[in-house]
Amino acid sequence: MIEALTINILLTLMAVLVVAIAARRNLFSVVMFTSIYSFLMATVLVALDAVDVAMTEASVGAGISTVLLLGALYLTRGEEAKPIHAPWLPLLLSISVGAALVYGSLGLPAFSDPQAPIHVHVVPRYLLDSLKETGVPNVVTSVLASYRGYDTLGETTVVFTAGAGVIALLRRRRRRAAGKETLP
C-alpha cells in the first residue's frame, strides 16, 4: 500500500514538472527541471524493482543528457523564442496521444499480478531457455544483449548522436571564436 502511494506521489510530481517545463521560457530552468524529472523517473523505477533500468535512467537521463543539454545551451541563447502563433494543433495531438495511452493502460493486468502473462509465459522462458538460446550464462545480459539487442543498439545510437552533435557545435563555436568562421 505504501509503495503504491509512493509511486502515485512521484508520478504526480512528474506531471507537475511536465507542466512547469512546458510553461518555462528560460532554457536553463527547463534543463534543470528535465534533470529532476529523470531522477524522479529513476526513483519510480527503483520502487518498481527495476533497478537496472533505474540506473540507466539516472546515468543517461539525468547525467549525460543534462551535460549534453547544458553544452548545447552554452551555444544558444538562454530564452526560448516566443512562437508566432499558438500551438493548438500540437497540444491537441499531445492530449489525444496521452488519452490513448491512458485508455490502453486500462486493459493491463494489475501491478505484480502473479498470473500476468509476463510472469506466466515470458519470465519462465527467459530463466529456463536463455542459456541455450543465446549462449550467455547471465540472464540479464542475455535479455539486454540478445532478446532486446535492437533496443539497446537504438539507445546507444541516440546517446552517441547527441554527444557527436554537442561536440560538433562546440567545435563550430571554437572556430568562430578564433575568427576562422563567421556565423549569422
What per-residue confidence (pLDDT) applies to 173? 66
Is 153 within a domain? yes
Is 89 within a domain? no
Residue 62 and residue 135 in one domain = no
| Assigned C-alpha cell, 154 | 537504438
Q: What is the pLDDT of residues 88-146, one digit of tens each?
A: 888 899 999 999 999 999 988 887 788 988 889 888 989 999 899 988 888 888 888 88
Q: Is the pLDDT of residue 17 over 90?
A: yes
| Assigned C-alpha cell, 118 | 509476463
The secondary structure of residue 83, as a DSSP letter, is P
Question: What is the greatest pairwise CA distance in the chain?
Answer: 66
Q: Structural domain of residue 178, as residue ranges?
A: 121-184
Mean pLDDT over residues 37-59, rounded? Answer: 87
Residue 67 and residue 131 in one domain = no
Is 88 within a domain? no
Q: Is the pLDDT of residue 37 over 70?
A: yes
Please identify, among 45, 78, 111, the residue that sits at the C-terminal boundary of a domain. 78
Please identify, among 44, 78, 112, the residue that sits at the C-terminal boundary of a domain. 78
Is 87 within a domain? no
Percentage with pLDDT > 70 across the chain: 92
Average per-residue pLDDT in the chain? Answer: 85
Is 101 within a domain? no
pTM to 2 decimals? 0.61
Please identify, among 78, 102, 134, the residue that sits at the C-terminal boundary of a domain. 78
Signed CA dihedral, 15, 20, 25, 26: sign only = negative
Please count the structural domains in the chain. 2
Residue 66 and residue 7 in one domain = yes
